[in-house]
Structure 1
Amino acid sequence: MDWDQLELNPKVIAAIKKAKLKSIKEVLHLSGPDLQRLTKLSNTDVQHLLKTVSLALRNNCVLTGITELVGQSSAGKTQIGLQLSLCVQYPYEYGGLESGVIYICTEDVFPDKRLQQLIALQHQLRTDVPQEIIKKIKFGNSVFIEHAADIDTLIECITKKVPILLSRGMVRLIIIDSIAALFRCEFGIQHSITKAKYLQTIGAKLHQLSSGFQSPVLCINQITSTMDERGLAGTNLNVLERVSPALGITWSNQLLMRLMVSRPSSEFLRDTDASATGIVVRTLSVIFAPHLPQSYCHYTVNEEGVKGTE
């Protein structure tokens, strides 16, 4: 590794070389305290080093595997999926992959009207991109839509149609909206083993496509809720609602990363300015990921798309 190519203080580079660290992999395999002991650098310098090499690694490759986006109804899952369908078409320097997307719908009709609205307002949303670049991108021509009404159709789609589009370089992103819908309709509790086998089959194929073609996969998932009653007999019970991603542990084991979106309850909205302004601030949380800490950010969904907010 040529450490001089990274934006690091010469003092940090000298310490790395003295510690005989030869690759980004070696640096990332060490904890912060271990790096401090090995390089004799301050905690601030070590954190800057870790951030710099992480960015360098992410800029040089695509993080492959299955990313799940899970959340309640109307939290903005499909909106994020649609926006990613356009983001993937931008040049690399603006966060894109210069390719298209295959969007597989399993439940609702594809929201084409909303997609066209987002396309028309890209110049307002992406003010970081020169207008001449946005005008050159034919967004609508690179969104390939498939509908899968049952599990067999979904498997046929990801084993036959998707590989053709990927091999021809026509797409670099796969979105399934939603992965839970088909299983919710077709399987009962008595079919848990068959359900698990299907989930493993789909997960394995998506992993193969993602790693083989260096293309991210986004699976939108739903949440399930259970009522948890707590209290003593003869007293008023406290009823709590617990939510968790659908499809259980078998599906969770197929994932590289899980993100969860949520929006405030209607009771909360009535007590805030959102009821007057119509602006609902939603939350996106990292539940688990190999390269990110558990954290969260806020966003809104408006006419031109999804926007981060303070």
Structure 2
Amino acid sequence: MTSATVEDLFINPRIITRAKIRGYVSLCSILRASQSELQQKLALTAADVEQLTTAAANYILPQKLSAWEMQNTDQERFLHITTGCHQLDDFLGGGIPVRGLTEVTGESGSGKTQLVLQLALYAQLPPISGGLGKGVAYICTESQFSSNRLQQLISHIRNKYPKGPKSYTDNIFVHHVPDMDNLVDCVRYQLPHLISSRHVGLVVIDSVAAPFRVEDRRERNTTLLLQTLGYRLHQLTSSHNIAVVAINQVTAAMGKQSLYGLEGNTAPALGLSWANLVTTRLMLTRTHSFVRTHKLLPQTTVEFNIRKLEVVFCPWLRRKSFSFIVTEKGIEDIAMSTV
């Protein structure tokens, strides 16, 4: 079973044995029970039950910080990864935050994978250039890794930052997972070791929705697995001071406005169970407008579709939107005339 169990806790073995004998194996079952119920059914003292429930809560839930603690915490905790576009970085308050869980959602072709591929490269730059100077764990769940596009972006980033890493690809660790059980197990067991041993600073999941949408929800309760995944990701970003970015798909929405007031006929997949675990939600869309640019060699005119990135919710950013285009160099600000 991929959910956390009492055996994962570092507490008195006597308490663990008593909980297993009485059927309180999962941490969720322990936290759902009252203190008096656990004392009675496990035949433990109030101090033992307090030790058990405290350890279970600390294991499942990420550490919380007060506003005062956040203000006085070392500034290294609140780093950002540059997106490669200065205007977009300014729009996001510095780039993609190295805190919490960032979701990038949107329709197919809106630029989601483009954005995370750039992050996978720029995260390897030194902090003075807007990166972390660390490696990247890239978890694929629905398609092959976009290696061709990555190589195209590498050629441009080398021209922009000639003193960057000698090899960008050597620092991107790609792992393919076929279903939600393997995804949760990967995040739970394999990812912590990779982060520590390979000096990883960014974790990308592309995408989080695919393995959960494939499963037959009539046969399995996927909510617990989804929550376990979210809690584990929060634990990793908090304990290792890394950035976590998850791509999410969209699904059909009922009515003119969906959850969080999003207009249109689509909404991020996985519903409230996942949305409540997300710290920052960025939604990308394609518009019906284009911009035109002229190339000198050869002399041609190229049109680019205008896309929009919207901050749906974020604790430190107001709701707003940013227009951009995707060129062979990557994401760029609109500095041309609309046609």
Structure 2 match to 1:97: 132
Q: Which runs of 5+ in 1 are unaligned?
A: 1-24, 30-52, 230-239
**What RMSD, in angstroms, separates the aligned Cα atoms of the two structures?**
2.7
Query: Could you say what secondary structure the match of 2:121 adopts?
Result: helix
The reply to whether residue 154 of structure 1 matches residue 183 of structure 2 is yes
1:134-213 to structure 2, matched below 5 A, reads 134=164, 136-188=165-217, 190=218, 194-213=221-240
Q: CA–CA distance in 1 between the matches of 2:193 and 2:247?
A: 23
The reply to whether residue 290 of structure 1 matches residue 325 of structure 2 is no
Partner deviation per Cα, 1:160-215 (whole Å, 9 max, x = no partner): 22111211252111000000011111033x35x71211110100111111111000
1:1-310 to structure 2, matched below 5 A, reads 61-62=78-79, 63-124=98-159, 126=160, 129=161, 131=162, 133-134=163-164, 136-188=165-217, 190=218, 194-226=221-253, 228=255, 242-264=265-287, 268-269=288-289, 277-310=302-335
Query: Could you say what secondary structure the match of 2:326 adopts?
Result: strand
Distance 1:226 1:95, change over 3 A: same
Q: When the two structures are superposed, what TM-score results if normalisation uses the length of structure 1?
A: 0.70
- Amino acid in the other structure paired with 1:113: N
Q: CA–CA distance in 1 between the matches of 2:68 and 2:229?
A: 34
Q: CA–CA distance in 2 between the matches of 1:172 and 1:60?
A: 12
Distance 1:73 1:163, change over 3 A: same
Query: Could you say what secondary structure the match of 1:277 adopts?
Result: strand
Partner deviation per Cα, 1:121-155 (whole Å, 9 max, x = no partner): 2134x3xx4x2x13x43211100000011011111
Structure 2 match to 1:16: none
Q: CA–CA distance in 2 between the matches of 1:274 and 1:221?
A: 30
- Greater RCO structure (CA 8 Å; 6+ sep): 1
Q: Which runs of 5+ in 2 are unaligned?
A: 1-66, 80-97, 257-262, 294-300
- Amino acid in the other structure paired with 2:102: T
Tell me if the contact between 1:90 and 1:137 (Cα under 8 Å) persists in the aligned partners: no
Shift of 1:106: 0.3
Tell me if the contact between 1:89 and 1:137 (Cα under 8 Å) persists in the aligned partners: no
Query: Could you say what secondary structure the match of 1:278 adopts?
Result: strand
Q: When the two structures are superposed, what TM-score results if normalisation uses the length of structure 2?
A: 0.64
Higher normalized helix content (fraction of residues): 1
Query: Could you say what secondary structure the match of 1:152 adopts?
Result: helix
Q: CA–CA distance in 1 between the matches of 2:223 and 2:124?
A: 34
- Report which stretch shifted further, 74-83 or 168-177: 168-177
- Report which stretch shifted further, 136-145 or 276-285: 276-285
- Amino acid in the other structure paired with 2:143: D
Shift of 1:116: 1.2
Query: Could you say what secondary structure the match of 1:255 adopts?
Result: coil
* Structure 1: 4+ residue segments shifted above 6 A: none
Shift of 1:278: 2.7
Identity across matched positions, percent: 36
- Amino acid in the other structure paired with 2:283: M
Shift of 1:292: 1.2
Q: CA–CA distance in 1 between the matches of 2:319 and 2:170?
A: 36
Q: CA–CA distance in 1 between the matches of 2:75 and 2:199?
A: 22
Distance 1:273 1:85, change over 3 A: closer
Tell me if the contact between 2:291 and 2:306 (Cα under 8 Å) persists in the aligned partners: no
Distance 1:212 1:83, change over 3 A: same
